[in-house]
Amino acid sequence: MAEKRKVISNAIVGISGGKDSSVVAALLVEALGKDRVIGVLMPNNEQSDIDCSIQLVNFLGIKNYTVNVGPAISALTNSIKESAGDSFELTNQTIVNMPPRIRMATLYAISQSNNGRVANTCNLSEDWVGYSTRYGDAAGDLSPLAEFTVTEVKALGRELGLPTNLIEKAPSDGLCGKTDEDNLGFTYAVLDRYIRTGQIDDPATKELIDKKHKANLFKLQTIPKFEW
């Protein structure tokens, strides 16, 4: 009887150059070895901080691809506008969420052609307040950081010996020109303390965090279905 051949999967990680993708990639290198981790850099035409992404893949010594998603984003945007007519206007939220979804489609295209599994790079702090794009950066086949706050992710990065500039880089979605904390209206340090201890000093900030948490719980749930 022929012996069954063991199929070994690879891990596919979208590399933004920030702490989350850096820590996820480093964790996977520790767990699987660098030969089974593939990084994917996905600039939207020009990316001002792509040098951080290049620094990370070189530091880890992992195979990587650079895929410019800008033409795909422009083509889809123009196609929708042409189809819908002049009276139709894409909302700002649609424009902001389109790149993460196209990036995730890119990751899965590369994954399926490399016997891969896509690693989600969201952390607990982002998930808590819904700071992610459903079926975009919130998708994936495994989520190494899902139970770690931003504060804890930074600690992991230091333990893994990652370059300080990647760990301490101000988190940004790279889409609207603002940092995550500018968009959220509070710092991750305040959010992380609230998540872990329930303590928060400003009642207005507590109300804002609670509102975002409640409004975005649907992103963490499976697709609603009819139950017999």
Distance CA 134, CA 147 (A): 18
The pLDDT assigned to 178 comes to 72
Return the SS3 of 199. coil
pLDDT of residue 227: 86
pLDDT at 1: 46
| Residue 99: other Cβ atoms inside 10 A | 21
Instruction: Tell which residue, 80, 83, 34, 87, has the closest CA to residue 57.
Output: 34
DSSP 109-151: HHHHTTTEEEBP---HHHHHTT-S-TTTTT--SB-TTTT--HH
The CATH class of 10-220 is: alpha beta
d(CA 208, CA 193): 15
Instruction: Select from 25, 14, 6, 12 the least CA-distant residue to 114.
Output: 12
Instruction: Name the 3-class secondary structure at 158.
Output: helix
Residue 35 tokens, joined? 């030969």
Write out the chain's pLDDT in tens, 228 residues.
455 555 679 999 999 999 999 999 999 999 999 999 999 999 999 888 899 999 999 999 999 999 999 999 999 999 998 998 878 889 999 999 999 999 999 999 999 999 999 999 999 999 999 999 999 999 999 999 999 999 999 999 999 999 999 999 877 666 556 788 888 999 999 999 999 999 999 999 999 999 999 999 998 888 888 888
Q: Which amino acid is at 209?
A: I
Cα angle 52, 54, 58 (rounded to 5 degrees) comes to 120
Which amino acid is it at 92? N
The pTM assigned to this predicted structure is 0.91
